[in-house]
Amino acid sequence: MVFETRSILAQLATDTRDIMELLNVNNLSIAFDTRDGKTQAVDNISFNVQQGETLGIVGESGSGKSVSCYALMGLIDKPPGHIERGKALFHNVDLLSADEKTMRGIRGKRISMIFQDPMTALNPYLSVGAQIIEPLLLHEDVSRNLAKQKALTLLEEVGINDAASRYYQYPHELSGGMRQRVVIAMALITEPELLIADEPTTALDVTIQAQILELIKDLQQRRNIAVIFISHDLDVIRYMTDRTLVMEQGRIVEHGQSQTVFNSPNHSYTKKLLASIPQQAKPVKFKYTPKKNSPLLSVNNVSISYADRSSRFQAVNNVSLKLAKGEILGLVGESGCGKTTLSQSIVKLINIDRGEILLGELSLHKLNTSELKQARKNVQMIFQDPYASLNPRMTVFNTLAEPLKIHRLAESSDIKKKVLNLMADVGLDPCWANKYPHEFSGGQRQRIAIARALAVEPQLIIADEPVSALDVTIQAQILELLLTLCQQRQLTMIFISHDLAVVRYIADRTAVMNQGKIVELNATETLYQEPTHSYTQQLLSAKLSG
C-alpha cells in the first residue's frame, strides 16, 4: 500500500509548475435521499483555494457549508448522499471521482481536517500519541521512534506543555481546549498543503476559542498552508480569513475579499446575517428606567455545592444580587462557572446550602408544597435546548394549556382562546395548535417554550441560554421577541448566556460569574466599556471584534 501511495504522490509531484491555485471546485452539486424525497444540500457551487490563503465559508445550519467540504474529502456516505455533478481539482486529481486508493493517499497526507467537537473527534480507546502519529506512519516511511519525536515537537508547538507525559494519556484525561490542540497536531503532522477546519472553536469557551484561533492563524502563517475555515460565526470568519464565501441553502450567494464582504455586503442575505449580529448596545426604546421600589428578587449569600465522587464541588459560592421589577439582568460566564446552577436554584429546581432567595417577601426555599406551587406561578424558566424542553408527546395546545389548568387560570371554555392568544403573541400561527414539537423548527420551538413560560403570567423569567442553540438570524428574531414581551408585560428577566454580544444587546445590568462567584456586576454599558475585574477584561479581550 505504501508503494502505491508513493507512486501516486510521485505523479502528483511531477506537477512542478509554481501554480497559485491549489484547489478548484467547479459546479459541485450534492443531494441526499430522505424519507420525503430528495434534498438538494449543495446546489452548483464553484470556488477555488489559493496556496497559503485562508478561505472562509460562512452560513447557517443546513446551508451546505460542511457537506461541500466533506465531499472534497470523500467523507459523504453514499447512499444516502449523491454527488450529482462537479469537479474538484487538486493537483490535477479530481477529488470527487478519484478512486478510493488515490483518495486515501491524499486524505490525511495532503489535505487534513479539524473537526467541531474535540470531545468526540478523538478515539477514546487509543492514547493521544498513537492517534497523532497514525497519519505519519500511514503515509510516510518513518520509524515509530522518529514519528514520536516529531509528535512531541509538534505538541509543544501547538501549546501543550509536558508533551512527553501527555503523549501517553487518553483523550478523556485532557480538557476540551487541549483536545482540540491534539486534533490540530494530528492534522498537521504530515505537513499537508490544505487544512479544512470545520467549526473548530464552536464547542469551546470564549477564552479557549481565542487561543485556538490564534494558534491556527499562527501555524497557517508559519507553515504557509491553505486553510478552508467553515463557521456559522461571522466574527470568527471575519477575524480568520482572507476571502469569504457566504452560503445559503446550498448556494453561494456572495463571495469576495473578507474585508469587502463584511464591510459592504451586496447580497440581501449577507446583509441580513450581518444585521443579525447583536453588535450595538441595547436599543433605547427597550431601556429600563430605574425606579425607586423594593426589589422583586433578592439573592442573599447563596451557596450551592454538589457532592462529587470523593469531594464536594462548590458550584455557587456566596452569591448575592438584587433585581427590580422590569429589569433585565445579564448573567455571563464560561461553562462550569455556576450560572446555570444559580438560575436553577432561583426556580427551586435544586436546593441551596446556605443563604436565602427572596421573591418579593417570600423566601422561596422555605415554602411548603402548596405555597411553593403558588409561588411557582410567579417565576418561570426558558431553557437552552428547544428540542429537549418540550414534551415530544404533547401537542402545542396541550403544552400551553397545562399551566393554565394546573393553576386554574382560565375557565375550561376560555382555555382555547387563551392558548391561541398566547401563540399569536409569540408569533406562532394559531392553526398549528394541534401539531407536535417535532414538526417545528428550532426557532419555532423556542417560541413555544416562551409561550409556555408566559402562560401563567409570571413576574420573573429566567432564560438560560435561550438563543445559543439557534442560528444567528433566528437568534435575532427571538431576542427581539423577548425584548418586546418584557416591555409589554413589565417582565423582569435574568438572561444567562456565554455570548457577550447577546447579553450586551439585551441586558440593562450585567453580572460576570467565574468559579461560582460574581466577580463583577454593573450597568451593562459601563461594564463593557470599563471592565474593572481582570476576569471580565480577559473575557472581553477574548471576544473577537471586526
Partner 1 sequence: MIRFFLSRLLQAMPVIFIVITATFFLIRSAPGGPFDADKVVSQEVIERLNERYNLDAPIHQQYFDYLSHLIRGDFGPSFRYTNRSVTEMIGAGLPITFELAIYAIMIALIIGISAGMLAAVRPNTAQDYIPMSLAMTGICMPSFLLGPLLVLVFGIWLQWLPVSGWGYSPGDKILPAITLGSTYAAYIARLTRGGMLEVLNQDYIRTAKAKGLSTSKIIFKHALRGGLAPVVAFLGPAIAGLLAGSFVVETIFQIPGLGRFYVQAAFNRDYTMIMGTTILLSCLIVFLNMLSDLLAVWLNPRLTLDAKH
Partner 2 sequence: MATDSLQQYQDVVFDQGRSPWQDAWYRLKQNKLAIISLNFLAALVVICVLTPWLAPYGYETQNLALGASGPSAAHWLGTDIHGRDLMTRLMYGGRISLMVGFAATAVSLVIGVLWGAIAGYVGGLTDTVLMRIVDILYALPFMIFIILLMVVFGRSLLLLFLAIGLIEWLTMARIVRTQVMNIRNQEFVSAAIVTGLSHWQIISRHIIPNIIGPVIVYITLTIPSVMLLEAFLSFLGLGIQPPQSSWGVLISGGVETMEEYPWLLLFPGLTLSATLFALNFLGDGLRDALDPRATSD
Interface with partner 2 by CB under 8 A: which residues? 344, 347, 349, 369, 372-373, 376-377, 379-381, 383-385, 388-396, 402-403, 406-407, 416-417, 420-421, 424-425, 427, 430-436, 438-439, 449, 452, 456
Minimum distance, C-beta of residue 436 to partner 2, in the bound complex (Å) = 5
Please say which residue, 183 or 274, places its beta carbon nearer to partner 1.
183
Q: Where are the beta strands (DSSP E) in 408-516?
A: 460-464, 492-497, 509-514
Q: How far is residue 199's CA from residue 187's CA, in Å, rounded to a whole number? A: 15
With contact defined as beta carbons under 8 Å apart, do 83 and 30 qualify? yes
Question: 420 is in the binding site of which of partner 2, partner 1, none (Cβ under 5 to 8 A by kind)?
Answer: partner 2
- Amino acid occupying residue 43: D
Out of partner 1, partner 2, none, what residue 452 binds, judged by CB under 5 to 8 A for its kind, is partner 2
373's contact among partner 1, partner 2, none, with CB below 5 to 8 A by partner kind, is partner 2
- Give least dist CB 383 to partner 2, A: 4
Query: 123 touches which of partner 1, partner 2, none (CB within 5 to 8 A by kind)?
Result: partner 1
Q: Checking DSSP bridges between strand 21-34 and strand 111-114, what pairing results, if any?
A: unpaired
Cell of 84: 450529482
Among partner 2, partner 1, none, what does residue 172 contact (CB within 5–8 Å per kind)?
Answer: partner 1
Residue 126 binds which of partner 1, partner 2, none (CB < 5-8 A, kind-dependent): partner 1
127 and 170 in contact (C-beta within 8 Å)?
yes
How many Cα atoms within 13 Å fall on the side-chain side of residue 431? 0
Smallest distance from the beta carbon of 184 to partner 2, in angstroms?
A: 30
Tell me which residue of 473, 472, 469 sits closest to 449, measured CA to CA. Answer: 469
186 binds, among partner 1, partner 2, none (CB under 5 to 8 A by kind): partner 1
Phi, psi of 158 (to 5 degrees): -85, 10
CA dist 190 and 133 (Å) reads: 9
Tell me how far, at minimum, the Cβ of 79 lies from partner 1, in Å.
9
CB of 91 vs partner 1, minimal distance in Å: 16
Which three cell numbers, joined as nine digits, stand for 356? Answer: 436565602
Residue 222 interacting entry, from partner 2, partner 1, none, C-beta within 5 to 8 Å by type: none
Q: CB under 5 to 8 A by kind: which of partner 2, partner 1, none does 427 bind?
A: partner 2
Q: In which element (H, E) is residue 452 found?
A: helix 442-455
Residue (192 or 458) nearer to partner 2, CB: 458
* Nearer to partner 2 among residue 186 and residue 347 (C-beta): 347
CB under 5 to 8 A by kind: which of partner 2, partner 1, none does 166 bind?
none
DSSP assignment of 110-155: TEEEE-S-HHHHS-TTS-HHHHHHHHHHHHS---HHHHHHHHHHHH
If the CB atoms of residues 213 and 460 are measured against partner 2, the closer one turns out to be 460
CB of 462 to partner 2, least distance (A): 9
Alpha-carbon distance of 423 to 452, in angstroms, equals 9
- Of the pair 130, 350, the CB lying nearest partner 2 is at 350
Cα angle: 16, vertex 195, 115; to 5 degrees? 160
8 A C-beta contact, residue 483 and residue 286: yes
Residue with cell 483555494: 49
Nearer to partner 1 (CB atom), residue 186 or residue 463? 186
Q: Which residues bind partner 1 (CB under 8 A)?
A: 1, 73-75, 103-109, 112-113, 115, 117, 120-127, 134-135, 138-139, 170, 172, 183, 186, 309
Question: Shortest gap between Cβ of 538 and partner 1 (angstroms)?
Answer: 30
Q: Are strands 111-114 and 194-198 parallel, antiparallel or unpaired?
A: parallel
477555488: which residue's cell?
Answer: 48
Rounded distance between C-alpha atoms, residue 458 and residue 164, angstroms: 56
CB of 456 to partner 2, least distance (A): 7
DSSP conformation letters of 78-100: TTTEEEEEEEEEETTEETTT--H
Q: Could you give the count of Cα atoms lying within 13 Å of 100 in the half-sphere of its Cβ? A: 3
- The C-alpha atoms of residue 501 and residue 315 are separated, in whole angstroms, by 25
Closer CB to partner 2, residue 117 or residue 402? 402
Q: Which is nearer to partner 1, 110 or 447 (CB)?
A: 110
Nearer to partner 2, 182 or 486 (CB): 486
Closer Cβ to partner 1, 198 or 334, answer by number: 198
Tell me the closest approach of the beta carbon of residue 311 to partner 2, in angstroms.
Answer: 18
Question: For partner 1, which is the closer residue by CB, 105 or 265?
Answer: 105
Cell numbers that stand for 225 in this block: 498552508
Q: State in angstroms the smallest separation of the CB of 131 from partner 2.
A: 24
Report the largest interatomic distance among the alpha carbons of the chain, rounded to a whole angstrom. 82
CB of 109 to partner 1, least distance (A): 6
